[in-house]
Amino acid sequence: MSKAVLDVKDLSVRFRTREGVVTAVNNISFSVGAGEVLGLVGESGSGKSVTGLAVLGLIDPPGEVSANSSIKVNGRELVGLPEEPLRKIRGKDVAMIFQDPMTTLNPVLRIDTQMIEAIRAHEKISEKAARERARQALEKVGIPSADERLKAYPGQFSGGMRQRVAIATALLNRPTVLVADEPTTALDVTIQAQILSEVQDLCAETGTALVWITHDLSVVAGLADRVAVMYAGRIVEEGPVTAVLEAPIHPYAAGLIGSVPSRNKRGEPLAQIRGMTPSLVNLPPGCPFAPRCDYATEICQTTMPEATPYEGERAARCHHPLSSPTPAAA
């Protein structure tokens, strides 16, 4: 693994709600090297999107990033930074694209306005030069007659095209890290595949580290170098993508992999993980997955398993690891 450009340590994000304190992200750590792709996988409500927003410093009250968290981009600490320096980092060093391309572009502003402002928020550069860069960026994501399309409004683009515009916009300033929050979920499968490979190419070209948030394991399989599986605000398993997918350690990861519909199991009922994700308000002391786990024993109800490193740059939090992996030498 190359040197980490994004290094997250002990990140916790809490939301104070009327029902109580919700710990949406609980003490997670991960790092991504330049040009590397990390797949952040989990069900709805597992905290993966909040993690993405936290990396950009976009957690708004009532949410708060706990003070002992650390998010370092290129070695620079983001947690606790005031708004103005944070703003300078957003869109410049760390960029983000979102799930629904139909709503991420402002419907009443032209594409050129929205792209040029993204450049000029960070650089003193003439309108003309910025426009030229925006045009090139559009061409790079495969938008034909970019000159003309710059003058269009978002409403004149299809969903896939809008997501391309968003991607082009996010990559305008050659960010060190790109956080992609399920950007292909709202698109149909053929467009999904195109966009995936385009983002992959663009990031490889510029050496941008990519954090790809998704609930779709098949996307991760084809795209990511490493994968982190989140459950109830924690990373329960992390490791190189092939190793994790072939021999998961955590029963939840195994369940997720088992739930992917496959051609080989035609005619059988689809596998699923029984039960529901737990409410994040006042989680019980033990492993949050215990109530849904086939392997759970008494210790799982009472004690949260520690993150245990395993051989092959892997880690998992489980009292009853599957596929008998070798613990890494301490």
Within 13 A of 284's CA, how many CA atoms are on the CB side? 13
**Which C-beta is closer to another protein: that of 58 or that of 247?**
58
Choose one: 32-40, 89-97, 186-194, 201-209; the region binding another protein (CB under 8 A). 89-97
N residues, the chain? 330
For position 214 contacting another protein by CB under 8 A, the verdict is no
Cis amide prior to 62 (ω within 30 degrees)? yes
For position 105 contacting another protein by CB under 8 A, the verdict is yes
Choose one: 68-76, 98-106, 133-141, 190-198; the region binding another protein (CB under 8 A). 98-106
Contacts 24+ apart (CB under 8 A), 70-79: 70/7, 70/8, 70/9, 70/10, 70/11, 71/6, 71/7, 71/8, 71/9, 71/11, 72/4, 72/6, 72/7, 72/8, 72/9, 73/5, 73/6, 73/7, 73/176, 73/177, 74/5, 74/176, 75/7
For position 68 contacting another protein by CB under 8 A, the verdict is no
Instruction: State the number of binding residues for another protein (CB under 8 A).
Output: 33
Q: Which of residues 149-208 bind another protein (CB under 8 A)?
A: 153, 155-156, 166, 169-170
For position 131 contacting another protein by CB under 8 A, the verdict is no
Q: Which two tokens stand for residue 267?
A: 């005619």
For position 307 contacting another protein by CB under 8 A, the verdict is no
For position 81 contacting another protein by CB under 8 A, the verdict is no
For position 6 contacting another protein by CB under 8 A, the verdict is no
Q: Which of residues 263-292 bind another protein (CB under 8 A)?
A: none
Sign of the torsion formed by the C-alpha atoms of 67, 70, 75 and 78: negative
**Interface ranges with another protein (CB under 8 A):** 56, 58, 83, 87-92, 95-98, 100, 103-109, 113-114, 117-118, 121-122, 153, 155-156, 166, 169-170
